[in-house]
């Protein structure tokens, strides 16, 4: 019956349905495995998906979660903004001056190769476990990643379009908004998305080391209490917020600004 229903759907709807089935299948398998493994392990080691989701629901609507989530989000937001700004400034500087590029390039390579955990350790040793370290760690780790994504866009800005702008005397601000930004936009949004997804994970990692407040710190506390159910509940709750930000903000902004993604590269 359901098969018959599927066949009678128009092609594009059928295609969406099939895609949806495949998308859900991965998560379904994971949940099934989780359920099976949790049955064979003690509840304190691995709680079942159902009890975890019950706890997640409680956590998501608790004041404690939103207090700590807002701290983590603020740190992650500052870290992403600062990293995004600095990596753009560095990319612009490298495009303008070969010497700046020569001096920055080894640092970028160093940043890309040093393990994140080492950066976190060193930052905590230098800055202490309180204060700005929760923001500094993600910034230090994200900047090289964003730079590598953004720099080619600046380097390959069309000289032909720049000539058109010069001939027709386009004012500088119009040139930047209407000619430069559309060429950069696909790269900037890809970098922004990477920055956000790495930013919140690294902020949580930094909070684990700082032993203060924030989602990372609370996760560590629950881990130390062997409450894996709470660890999962806090992780899933925060993940839900990040997914909302990804689909509700980043993708909507991308749709608005990257009007013609494919042709913007030509």
Partner 1 sequence: MNAMRINNISKAYSENLTVFQNLTLDINAHESVCIFGPSGCGKTTLMHVIADLEPYSEGSIQFYDGNKKIVKNPTIGFVFQEPRLFPWLTVSKNLELVMKKPSTNKAVIDKQIEKTLKLVHLEGYNQRHPDELSGGEKQRVSLARALIVQPDVLLLDEPFSHLDELTATKLRVGLAQILKQLKITTILATHNPLEAIFLADRIVVLTMQKPTKIKQILTVDIPKPRNKNLYGEFIYNPVVERILKDLFH
Q: Which residues bind partner 1 (CB under 8 A)?
A: 160-161, 163-164, 166-170, 174, 178-179, 182, 259-260, 263-264, 266
| CA–CA dist 171, 168 (Å, integer) | 9
Tokens, residue 242: 């990040």
CB nearer to partner 1: pick between 4 and 159: 159
CB nearer to partner 1: pick between 112 and 174: 174
- Binning the chain into helix, strand and coil, the percentages to the nearest 5 are 85, 0, 15
CB nearer to partner 1: pick between 175 and 232: 175
CB of residue 266 to partner 1, shortest distance in Å? 6
CB of residue 170 to partner 1, shortest distance in Å? 7
CB of residue 222 to partner 1, shortest distance in Å? 48
| CA–CA dist 183, 264 (Å, integer) | 5
Contact in structure between 194 and 146 (CB atoms under 8 Å)? yes
CB nearer to partner 1: pick between 102 and 261: 261
CB nearer to partner 1: pick between 63 and 167: 167
Crossing angle (nearest 10°) for helices 228-245 and 181-210: 160
| CA–CA dist 2, 13 (Å, integer) | 14
CB nearer to partner 1: pick between 145 and 185: 185
Please list, in sequence order, all residues whose beta carbon lies within 8 angstroms of the beta carbon of residue 261, skipping any fewer than 6 positions away. 186
CB of residue 147 to partner 1, shortest distance in Å? 25
| CA–CA dist 117, 214 (Å, integer) | 18
| CA–CA dist 238, 72 (Å, integer) | 9
CB of residue 259 to partner 1, shortest distance in Å? 5
Tally of residues, the chain: 266
CB of residue 178 to partner 1, shortest distance in Å? 6
- Select from 69, 33, 79, 41 the least CA-distant residue to 234: 69
């Amino acid at each position: 019956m359901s098969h018959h229903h599927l066949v009678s759907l128009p092609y594009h709807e059928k295609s969406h349905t099939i895609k949806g089935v495949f998308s859900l299948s991965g998560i379904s398998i994971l949940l099934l495995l989780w359920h099976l493994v949790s049955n064979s392990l003690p509840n304190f080691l691995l709680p079942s998906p159902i009890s975890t989701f019950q706890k997640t629901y409680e956590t998501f609507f608790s004041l404690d979660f939103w207090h700590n989530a807002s701290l983590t989000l603020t740190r992650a937001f500052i870290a992403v903004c600062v990293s995004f700004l600095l990596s753009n400034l560095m990319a612009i500087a490298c495009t303008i001056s070969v010497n700046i590029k020569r001096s920055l390039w080894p640092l970028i390579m160093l940043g890309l190769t040093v393990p994140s955990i080492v950066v976190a350790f060193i930052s905590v040793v230098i800055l202490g476990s309180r204060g700005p370290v929760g923001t500094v760690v993600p910034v230090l780790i994200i900047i090289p990643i964003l730079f590598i994504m953004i720099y080619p866009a600046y380097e390959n800005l069309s000289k032909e379009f720049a000539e058109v702008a010069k001939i027709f005397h386009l004012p500088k601000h119009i040139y930047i908004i209407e000619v430069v930004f559309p060429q950069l936009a696909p790269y900037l949004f890809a970098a922004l998305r990477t920055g956000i997804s790495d930013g919140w994970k690294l902020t949580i990692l930094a909070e684990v080391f700082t032993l203060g407040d924030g989602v990372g710190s609370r996760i560590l506390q629950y881990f130390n209490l062997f409450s894996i159910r709470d660890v999962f509940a806090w992780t899933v709750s925060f993940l839900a917020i990040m997914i909302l930000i990804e689909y509700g903000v980043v993708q909507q902004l991308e749709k608005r600004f990257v009007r013609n993604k494919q042709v913007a590269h030509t």
